[in-house]
Chain A
């Protein structure tokens, strides 16, 4: 249609066509990157592609499940023994937690503090993990039809995994912690030191920034969400410090962290239907604004 004569007799090179399509591509790229004006195109394309993606994810899922089946068969005895012990421990702990919780609510009533906003969670399944050097995302099978909203936190059983960054009707995109410039306000579980955790890109560990050389941190310390920014509920485990490099040249230490949620192993995750309760007392003015200016949100 565009090219009627055979290639052999074609005159000249199609510079004009190249120019036209490159221009068109650049315009679309600019409209998407700067103006975010192409969500409609994505929506239409996604409706068409989602069924294909779901079908294509099936074989991998089956392989994963059958592998898991045989693995559990081989080690089922040891696993069940250790698990029954663990369940007993957990029962004991659960009793304590109940007691603590009632005590906590009682104390809060005494102090006339408001309840923290509670949230439900929604189980979702990872459809796939697109190959893309510029961002770290997974596509999950829940969308606006299930009540998912932009910015909701996502976690696995082990810890925080990321945040919903794009919502379609029946699926949504979740940016992972490893995504470049993904920032989460965290605190060190051991001593309550508050910092910000950053993602630095594909296949790289997370990085704890704005920490001085003298800060009380150790390899193996756990980081949990502090809940300061209101996007993430407080107290979700996020990462573990894996390496500390205190160089004498710069004032800040380089601290690498390993996320607790492993994206390669889990087929299921939880979307926390968490909407921040803004009526709860906020931290003091200065601190919030300082933290806010530091936090550059990915997307």
Chain B
């Protein structure tokens, strides 16, 4: 395929995939604890690989949009996304230099952290919710599997990823 044409390039721009992630999240999945956060996976992917375009501001705004969409307390997803964004930028070199397995494990930790921040915020606010380790682990594991899938999908399609990793 020819990726040099402008049309394809704009189609492949990070924001297109962020919107896809948001729409995947907005599907009526129901209210089960294991439902993964597609947008978070997309967002962390693009923060890692293209921090010039996708960074704190997009994380914050997308978080607010997610809060309205899930009728959560306004700002809770925004704080989660911003903190994930920060951790990824902070450890960007390490993440990019790690092996595939190492990177996935680090991402698993980051996704667990995102779930933990959610429950921590609810705890601080005094909203009494049921908590269990499975609530942290299972969605994060599914997020990590999605991360690996997206990674495979993008690395075969987008040339500049190889450039970054080499």
Contacts and interface: CB of A to CB of B under 8 A. Distances in A.
B135 interface: yes
B56 A17 contact: yes
Interface string A45-82: 11001001100110010000000000000000000000
B59 to A, nearest CB: 8
A134 B73 contact: yes
B113 interface: no
Given A14-B56, A29-B79, A134 B68 contact: no
Interface string B30-73: 11110100000000000000011001110110011100111111
A7 B74 contact: no
Contacts of B92: 7
Contact of B130 (A7, A46, A204): A204
A25 B75 contact: yes
B146 interface: no
B51 A7 contact: yes
B74 A32 contact: yes
Contact of A21 (B52, B60, B74): B60
Interface in A69-112: none
Interface in A167-214: 173, 180-181, 201-204
A134 B56 contact: no
Contacts of B23: 52, 56
A38 B129 CA distance: 23
B57 to A, nearest CB: 6
Question: Which of A132, A133, A202, A203 is most buried by chain B, counting CB atoms within 10 A of its CB?
Answer: A133
A131 B89 contact: no
Interface stretch (A113-121, A122-130, A224-232, A268-276): A122-130
A202 B35 CA distance: 14
A28 B64 contact: yes
Contacts of A133: 33, 118-119, 122, 129-130, 135
A49 B68 contact: yes
A135 interface: yes
A290 interface: no
A133 B70 CA distance: 10
Contact of A136 (B31, B60, B63): B31
Contact of B68 (A14, A42, A56, A137): A42
A204 B129 CA distance: 11
Contacts of A57: 28
A41 B78 CA distance: 14
B75 A173 contact: no
Contacts of A26: 75, 79
A281 interface: no
A131 B32 contact: yes
Contacts of B35: 131
Nearest to A43: B68
Given A21-B60, A25-B75, A131-B32, A180 B55 contact: no
A180 B128 contact: yes
Interface string A1-33: 111101100000110011001101111110111
B71 A135 contact: yes
B159 to A, nearest CB: 17
A39 B122 CA distance: 20
A139 interface: yes
B75 A14 contact: no
A57 to B, nearest CB: 5
Given A6-B52, A130-B71, 9 more contacts: A18-B56, A24-B78, A25-B75, A26-B75, A45-B64, A46-B68, A49-B65, A49-B68, A132-B71
19 contacts: A13-B89, A21-B56, A24-B78, A25-B60, A28-B75, A29-B79, A32-B73, A41-B64, A42-B74, A128-B28, A130-B69, A130-B71, A131-B35, A133-B118, A133-B119, A136-B31, A202-B31, A202-B130, A203-B33
Interface of A: 1-4, 6-7, 13-14, 17-18, 21-22, 24-29, 31-33, 38, 41-42, 45-46, 49, 52-53, 56-57, 60, 127-137, 139, 166, 173, 180-181, 201-204, 264
